[in-house]
């Protein structure tokens, strides 16, 4: 059952996964969907009290002489008229966008190389004779019937186009292979790198909106209940009242509203991850380098002879400008842009 559900969620690219990997794939994707559902649920205005109804707190907590936040009935989160409605709408909209992009990416074609498009893919990029050498065949893909000059080796195995790589998880060769994403359980390649950037952008926006919504709501709660002016007993034998300090307020709102507080912590941490991934991939596209190439890119100290072949450029496929590199990465076509081809000649 886990395998069938994972295939449905991830677009069916699970032919060669072991059972343990299937469980991990399914768990990651379910976790992502649950986090989105949780974010949308916390931003539903109907969860809060009607406008004009104030949160309740015990009489003890209102008295400076016997204020005690550790006792008394639980408080309501926040009156509805104090909820940041625009942020809640943004959270709901971004959750929907993330789910749509998640499913589209899971079922998208990353740039699958087939016998019908092999000739065009072989002309897409020149070989740099370092990462990608001409005449190298993919032994993992099923051989084509009969050897074809310029397309296969003597055994009928398809030649590998430049900037392509065989993904063992998906069991296929991908044009302009970037990486295999474990969250969508699909490759990111030349055909879906643009959708992947939108996916990262939407998730970054969602994390920012969720963190802002949580912080705004909790801050409004503190101000609405006037927590900063409250006093609490010091816990001594005399029960002396003392002014409340900031960590006491943090413990109080976490005890009374753990979901919103946890969402604030998770969303704030995820901003660093999603924004970092987005900036990293924008940097790679700006220099026309894939993740796979960047991880294996030699430094000038390690291989100066290779890098000196393209002075003033970051990589062999760097077109020399952001515009040319972004067009090459994001505009889906069978051939490289003329500006980049001129650089290669």
**Per-residue confidence (pLDDT) for residue 246, from 0 to 100:** 60
**Per-residue confidence (pLDDT) for residue 283, from 0 to 100:** 92
Active site residues: 181
Beta strands in 44-185 (DSSP E): 165-167, 172-174, 179-181
- Tell me if 92 sits within 8 A of 40, measured CB to CB: yes
Tens digit of each residue's pLDDT, the chain (345 residues) = 333 334 444 444 444 444 456 777 778 888 888 888 877 777 665 444 433 344 444 333 443 333 344 433 333 344 444 555 677 888 888 999 999 999 999 999 999 999 999 998 998 899 988 888 898 999 998 888 877 778 888 888 899 999 999 999 889 999 999 999 988 989 999 999 999 999 999 999 999 998 988 888 777 777 766 666 665 555 555 666 656 666 666 777 777 677 778 888 899 999 999 999 999 999 999 988 999 988 887 665 566 677 677 777 777 888 878 888 888 888 754 444 444 444 443
What are the residue ranges spanned by the domains of the chain? 34-108+194-276
Radius of gyration of the chain (CA): 28
Cα-flanking dihedrals φ and ψ of residue 188, to 5°? -110, 120
Distance separating alpha carbons of residues 160 and 39, to the nearest angstrom: 44
Axis crossing angle, helix 258-286 with helix 193-224, rounded to the nearest 10? 150
**Per-residue confidence (pLDDT) for residue 339, from 0 to 100:** 44
Strand 241-243 versus strand 165-167 pairing type: unpaired
Distance separating alpha carbons of residues 259 and 191, to the nearest angstrom: 39
Beta strands in the chain (DSSP E): 165-167, 172-174, 179-181, 186-188, 231-233, 241-243
């Amino acid at each position: 059952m886990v395998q069938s559900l994972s295939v449905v969620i991830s677009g069916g690219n699970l032919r060669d996964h072991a059972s343990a990997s299937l469980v991990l794939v399914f768990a990651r994707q379910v976790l992502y969907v649950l986090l989105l559902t949780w974010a949308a649920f916390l931003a539903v205005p109907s969860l809060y009290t009607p406008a004009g109804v104030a949160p309740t707190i015990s009489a003890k907590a209102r008295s400076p002489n016997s204020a005690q936040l550790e006792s008394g009935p639980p408080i309501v989160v926040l009156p509805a008229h104090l909820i940041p409605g625009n942020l809640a709408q943004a959270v709901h909209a971004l959750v929907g966008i993330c789910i749509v992009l998640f499913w589209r990416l899971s079922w998208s074609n990353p740039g699958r190389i087939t016998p019908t498009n092999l000739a065009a893919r072989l002309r897409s990029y020149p070989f740099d004779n370092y990462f990608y050498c001409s005449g190298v065949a993919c032994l993992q893909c099923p051989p084509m019937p009969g050897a074809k000059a310029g397309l296969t080796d003597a055994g009928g195995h398809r030649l590998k186009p430049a900037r392509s790589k065989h993904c063992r998880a998906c069991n296929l060769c991908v044009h302009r292979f970037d990486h295999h994403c474990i969250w969508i359980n699909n490759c990111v390649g030349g055909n879906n790198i643009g959708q992947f950037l939108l996916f990262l952008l939407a998730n970054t926006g969602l994390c920012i909106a969720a963190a802002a919504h949580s912080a705004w709501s909790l801050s409004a709660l503190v101000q609405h209940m006037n927590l900063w002016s409250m006093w609490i007993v010091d816990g001594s034998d005399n029960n002396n009242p003392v002014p409340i300090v900031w960590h006491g307020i943090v413990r109080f709102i976490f005890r009374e509203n753990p979901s919103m507080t946890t969402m604030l912590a998770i969303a704030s941490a995820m901003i660093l991850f999603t924004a970092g991934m987005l900036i990293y991939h924008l940097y790679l596209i700006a220099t026309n380098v894939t993740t796979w190439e960047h991880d294996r890119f030699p430094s000038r100290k390690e291989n100066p002879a290779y890098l000196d072949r393209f002075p003033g450029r970051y990589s062999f496929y760097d077109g020399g400008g952001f515009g040319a590199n972004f067009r090459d990465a994001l505009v889906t076509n069978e051939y490289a842009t003329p500006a980049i081809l001129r650089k290669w000649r």
